[in-house]
Chains A and B, each alone.
Chain A
Amino acid sequence: MTSVVSRRDFLKASAVLGGGFALEFSFPVLSRAVSGGPSTEVNAWIVIHPDDRVVIRIARSEMGQGTFTALAQLVAEELDCDWARVSAEYASPNENFRRNHVWGAMSTGGSRGVRTSQDYVRKAGASAREMLVTAAAEQWRVPAATCTVERGVITHHPSGRKLRYGQVAAAAAKLTPPKDVTLRDPKDWKIAGKPLHRLDIPDKVRGKPVFGVDVSLPGMLHASIAQCPVFGGKLASVDSRAAEQMRGVKKIVREESFVAVVADSWWRANEALKALVVQWDAGAYAHADNASVTAMLREGLDAKNLPQARKIGDTAAALQGAVKVVEVEYHSPYINHATLEPQTCTAWLKPEGFLDVWTSTQDGEASMIAASAASGLPLEKVEVHKMMLGGGFGRRGGPQDFVTQAVLIARAMPGVPVKLMWSRTEDMQHGFYRPASIVRMKAGLDEQGRPVALHSTVACPSILKVLRPQALPKDGVDPTAVRSLYDMPYTIPHQQVDYAMRNGHVPVGFWRAPGQQNAFYRECFIDELAAMAGQDPVAYRLAMLKAGDKNRLVLEAVTRAAGWGTPLPSGRYRGVAVADGFDSFTATVAEVSVDEKGEPRVHRVVIAIDSGYVVNPDTCRAQAESNVIFGLGSILYQENNLKNGSIVESNFNDFRLPQMAEMPVVETLLVPTGGFWGGHGEPAILALAPAVCNAIFQATGTRIRSLPLKHHDLQRHARLGDLAGVA
């Protein structure tokens, strides 16, 4: 195979430490860096060394969700190799392009890592296993059917002869891959389905340079960036005279919508950036603020002839004929991803006309396309080196703004690698935010208080319109804007969901479980209706779920595990919610108290998830814990406000993250029923906010119809006695 940018041409960078001793490290730091000696690529996914070490290539990005390990487990399960000898490395985006997408999709989001690649990665493992066995059988001149494999050792039973994978890998690679392979029944799994240690953790606890911000190359310079504070605005002028005189400063890069300083350390670049006198042309949205966003959404709510995301029965007639009609509005603010590693990308425009890019990306191929577009180089001359992500949550997939910027900066510094890293303030104020939205829900009830009709109108910016316009359906209904409403499992006979796409100028993006605010609206409103009907919220929901619906199963499982209906310590109250998404089913019970000052506290969260199959139970539990803390920040205090066209919040002092003391006890029940493959990265966030807010209603009698909770005076409503509550 000819290679225009050899991926094995690993850069050895040595950083001299003060008194003359050196730390040496290479990129990537995973197995490629340590693999010596001749190795064999049995197929695109599997490389086997003569000493039996197996390297499994992973196409999806690792951002803490454990996909690196789970996908390796699936391959290793079918390969029948020794897990103790397995390591994983990223597949190269450039090679994926040149090898006709042999690794499939690299895009990592939507909790898709396992659920949409499990089939072909398992087949890759099974196919390689068959080739290895065939190679051994051919060497022995025996039928392959007389051989078995255990942990990478092939045995010919009649003779007792043995060969190791490392001994036959080279011969196996020359064979034609089998047309069909049989995959193992998950009930027979030995490597998949087990809580194995994650492959990426040892390097991370040792502080190895695995992240995008850790890239270090010989002669590399550093860049800090300032983008127009008003989204869509342009750079008007820059007075850089003072900055140019500052120590270590190499270049001021002026582009249409940003200015960057390149220096010999990031701190020097950033200090010089502060010394620039910059004039911006703010553009049309210089006066946009929270009120103008609300007005935009309200106009959408009242608009006529909106596209319909769901229409079952005749909702208008059913509402007219209802015994009672209840109408409510819920709303949510913009929220940033705030990955702890700020956006970053290193770009090196080489004199030979190649471009190398190192970045923390959720989509290596999207990074490659962005780098190609920004450099003007064809894709085959661009290599993206995927690094570990210091958090992703949807920020680093669709938007590749940081890659485009790094390449533009590198273009101004040809031949010199430049690492761009955003300051925290840039990161806070130039995100692709969870959309702000308002939803109006109108329910028609029968004499028993059961809903016969539900009409929801969603006013919300479209993420697809911003990031993937080609994926937006023709009717203009963005599924991420109507999630949990247009696919609601409740058997309400008349349902209508209208969608008002109102976009504004604030960029929106895929924020963990895009559209999850709708699960908050829906599950809180259902709770309101249950309370009005004087019914237990679990029973009320179960009455609207079909027999066999997996939502029923997780709801029943979680209420049992949480002790629903049993006494709680004084001052604690329960709330419940159920929601499905990303092909998994999730139900949550939260236990909450509100103290005399009105401060809410979430003590315990019990979550039941049916994802069909579970590849690494420990990682799945970790993702449930992750969804709880990620969701909790948005429930308690996170929001991004808009003033003068710009985001107000600037850092973690005004955009709080929950701390250790706020972490509730999280109990996760994995209840896989088989027959389908669901995700784990996002589902558990769906039912969290409604479960917490429904518990707050029990504690205070106050219905929470907007978040964050910091805007609600819970003290005023805190219950003195134990009023009628069903939980």
Chain B
Amino acid sequence: MLELLINGRVARVDVEPEMPLLWVLRDHLGLPGTKYGCGISACGACTVHLDGQAVRSCTLPVSAAQGKKITTIEGLSKNGLHPVQKAWIEHEVPQCGYCQTGMIMTTVALLEAHPHPTDAQIDEAVTNLCRCGTYARVRKAIHALAKS
């Protein structure tokens, strides 16, 4: 039995230590906001926070998350009112929305590290893939958040 600290609560789960955190969240803990896109850390749809750092959970063995604070989109804020989520609504960022929970988690971590990121810092940090083409609005929303 593994013990995990997820969204401020303790969860115990009986899974293989090598199971990627993504699947523990999605299939064993009922937290489907974190998405599968590639399974090789290429797309970032599975981004969660580990002690506040953005990590790609599709290749992260759950054992590596033990003892760390795991935050998923479901635990980012009460009622989805984190400033980044609000900015995403305000700027109509998502299209299909599938990559956006990962995009939001990446952005939250970026803004914690760099409250006023340059375009180059955004390009470097937000490498999540979006098939719909929301990049311009992601950038716009990040700059708006930096100003506020």
Contact = CB atoms under 8 A, between A and B. Distances in A.
Interface of A: 14-19, 21-23, 63-66, 197-198, 200-202, 204-211, 213-214, 216, 222, 247, 264-268, 338-342, 388-393, 421, 423-424, 618-619, 622, 625-630, 651-653, 657-661, 663, 665-666
Given A424-B38, A629-B130, A652-B38, A206 B73 contact: yes
Contacts of A198: 92
B113 interface: no
B94 A204 contact: yes
13 contacts: A14-B30, A17-B29, A64-B96, A206-B73, A213-B35, A216-B32, A265-B19, A341-B37, A390-B98, A630-B132, A630-B133, A659-B127, A660-B123
A266 B22 CA distance: 10
A424 B37 CA distance: 7
B23 A653 contact: no
Contacts of A63: 96
B100 A64 contact: no
B122 interface: yes
A651 B39 CA distance: 9
B32 A205 contact: no
- Which of A19, A339, A423 has most chain B Cβ within 10 Å? A19
B92 A201 contact: yes
A489 to B, nearest CB: 27
Contacts of B40: 424, 651-653
A665 B104 CA distance: 21
B75 to A, nearest CB: 10
Of B9, B97, B131, chain A has the most CB atoms within 10 Å of the CB of B97
Given A389-B96, A391-B96, A424-B37, A660 B127 contact: yes
Contacts of B95: 64-66, 622, 626
B97 to A, nearest CB: 3
B9 A19 contact: yes
Given A18-B10, A214-B32, A424-B38, A205 B104 contact: yes
Nearest to A627: B133
Given A660-B139, A661-B123, A200 B97 contact: yes
Given A630-B131, A660-B128, 4 more contacts: A264-B27, A390-B35, A627-B133, A658-B135
Contacts of B27: 222, 264-267
A652 B42 contact: yes
A103 B122 CA distance: 44
Given A340-B43, A390-B97, A629-B132, A19 B11 contact: yes
Nearest to B4: A18
Contacts of A393: 131
Contacts of A390: 35, 96-98
A19 B10 contact: yes
Nearest to B2: A18
B39 A626 contact: no
Interface string B65-98: 0000000111000011000010011001111111
Q: Which of A23, A66, A206, A266 has the most CB of B within 10 A?
A: A206
In the A-B complex, list the 3 residue pairs whose CB atoms are closest, starting with the nearest.
A207-B33, A18-B11, A15-B30
A335 B63 CA distance: 38
Residue of B35, B36, B122, B134 with most partner-chain A CB within 10 A = B36
Contacts of B20: 267
B2 to A, nearest CB: 9
A340 B92 contact: no
Nearest to B95: A64
A197 B130 contact: no
Contacts of B34: 207
Contact of A64 (B22, B26, B132): B132
A622 B72 CA distance: 27
Nearest to B98: A390
Nearest to B26: A266
Contacts of B35: 211, 213, 340-341, 390
A656 B131 CA distance: 10
Contact of A206 (B4, B80, B130, B139): B80
B114 interface: no
Nearest to B32: A214
